[in-house]
């Protein structure tokens, strides 16, 4: 009997569903998102001999209901590798069923496999449900302001 839900590495055939979830995630976070060209660029970052991005998907009853992505980075202050979790998103219908915890477990195992000292991420200040979820897992927060810079505007 197939489990009700499970988390696994994304397959190339999942990319269109991941892009759809990215769009939902952006809408949830009140951000702009255009799906144009995303499937191709994500595929080239994930499905290569030396991945720049890893993507995990949550599958429930044959449907992709969530995703988490991460990259390996280096901390100057920690003088160690860390895993940066760029996104974690679950369809609202599938929240509070243990899937998010399983996704975080997979992220943790991946960090361990890559010899990363820590996992780091951010969530919007207003997302209290996410904050409570991460704190229940034992995560601590660091108050900072996140900046985004379109460097092309600077050199124009």
Q: How many domains are contained in the chain?
A: 1
For helices 38-46 and 15-28, angle between their N-to-C axes, nearest 10 degrees: 110
Task: Check which CATH number belongs to the domain holding 139 and give it.
Answer: 3.40.630.30
pLDDT at 156: 60
C-alpha torsion sign, points 97, 86, 53, 113: negative
Q: Is a pLDDT exceeding 60 seen at residue 115? A: yes
What is the extent of the structural domain holding 86?
Answer: 5-155
* pLDDT-derived band at 3, boundaries 50, 70, 90: low
- Residue 4: phi and psi, rounded to 5, are -60, -40
Whole-prediction pTM: 0.90
User: 3-class SS at 54?
Assistant: strand
pLDDT at 146: 79
The pLDDT of 59-87, averaged and rounded, is: 96
pLDDT at 1: 45
Round the average pLDDT of the chain to a whole number and report it.
93
């Amino acid at each position: 009997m197939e489990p009700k839900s499970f988390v696994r590495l994304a397959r190339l055939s999942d990319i269109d569903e991941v892009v759809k979830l990215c769009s939902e995630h952006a809408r949830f976070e009140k951000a702009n998102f255009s799906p144009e060209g995303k499937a191709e660029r994500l595929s080239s970052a994930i499905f290569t001999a030396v991945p720049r991005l890893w993507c995990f998907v949550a599958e429930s009853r044959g449907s992709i209901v969530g995703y988490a992505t991460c990259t390996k980075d280096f901390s100057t202050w920690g003088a160690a590798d860390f895993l940066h979790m760029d996104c974690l998103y679950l369809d609202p219908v599938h929240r509070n069923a243990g899937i998010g915890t399983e996704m975080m477990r997979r992220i943790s195992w991946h960090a361990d496999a890559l010899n990363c000292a820590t996992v780091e991420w951010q969530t919007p200040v207003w997302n209290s449900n996410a904050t409570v979820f991460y704190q229940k897992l034992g995560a601590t927060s660091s108050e900072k302001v996140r900046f985004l810079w379109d460097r092309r505007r600077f050199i124009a």
